[in-house]
């Protein structure tokens, strides 16, 4: 990246003579290169409806039809497990998950409220969904065995 910045400076040498503050110009070029590099490495988003490698999605796990067949104690146990697993998320992941999935806020609304970038919020939700998908899958398998 540093080589790219210096190469750009050398190729634009005639333009740089008109630049008053060389340090500021190099800083801006470097900052733009870093931003471009991160944009290329963007983390893919993950939907609660997108199936994992085993074909299960979080929506199916949460909306399992067998929930209606459970007695009150089993239903209470599953509810508490879901709440407990959401509580085990990191604070920032938990807030994004609750606001986006449960409260129905858009990422743009959350970004305006928190001052965080949309990409950061999407990544946090992605990690939260992966964590919950893994943990709730284990609970679902335990209940199927019973």
pLDDT in tens, 31-70: 888 877 777 776 555 565 666 656 666 666 555 555 556 6
Q: Residue 141 has what pLDDT?
A: 75
Q: pLDDT at residue 16 above 60?
A: no
CA dist 121 and 129 (Å) reads 12
Q: Which residue has the higher pLDDT, 65 or 115?
A: 115
DSSP 8-state symbol, 69: G
| 107 pLDDT tier (thresholds 50, 70, 90) | confident
Closest CA to 51 of 106, 105, 129: 129
Residues with Cβ within 8 Å of residue 47, at least 6 apart in sequence: 57, 129
Residue 146 CB neighbours (<10 A): 6
Instruction: Provide the pLDDT for residue 15.
Output: 62
Q: 19 or 1: which carries more pLDDT confidence? A: 1
If DSSP codes are grouped into helix, strand and coil, which group holds residue 35? Answer: helix
Burial class of residue 133 in the structure, from the number of CB atoms within 10 Å of its CB (0-12 exposed, 13-18 middle, 19+ buried): buried
Between 97 and 61, the higher pLDDT residue? 97
Q: Identify the CA nearest to 58 among candidates 142, 131, 143.
A: 131
């Amino acid at each position: 990246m540093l080589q790219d910045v210096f190469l750009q400076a050398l190729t634009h040498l005639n333009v740089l003579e008109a630049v008053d503050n060389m340090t500021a110009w190099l800083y801006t070029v470097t900052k733009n290169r870093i931003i471009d590099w991160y944009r290329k490495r963007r983390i893919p988003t993950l939907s609660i409806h997108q199936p994992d490698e085993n074909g299960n999605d979080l929506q199916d796990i949460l909306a399992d039809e067998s929930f209606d067949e459970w007695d009150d104690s089993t239903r209470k146990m599953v509810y508490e497990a879901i709440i407990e697993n959401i509580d085990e998320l990191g604070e920032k992941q938990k807030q994004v998950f609750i606001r986006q999935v449960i409260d129905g806020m858009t990422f743009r609304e959350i970004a305006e409220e928190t001052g965080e970038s949309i990409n950061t919020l999407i990544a946090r939700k992605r990690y939260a969904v992966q964590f919950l998908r893994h943990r709730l899958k284990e609970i679902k398998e335990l209940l199927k065995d019973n």
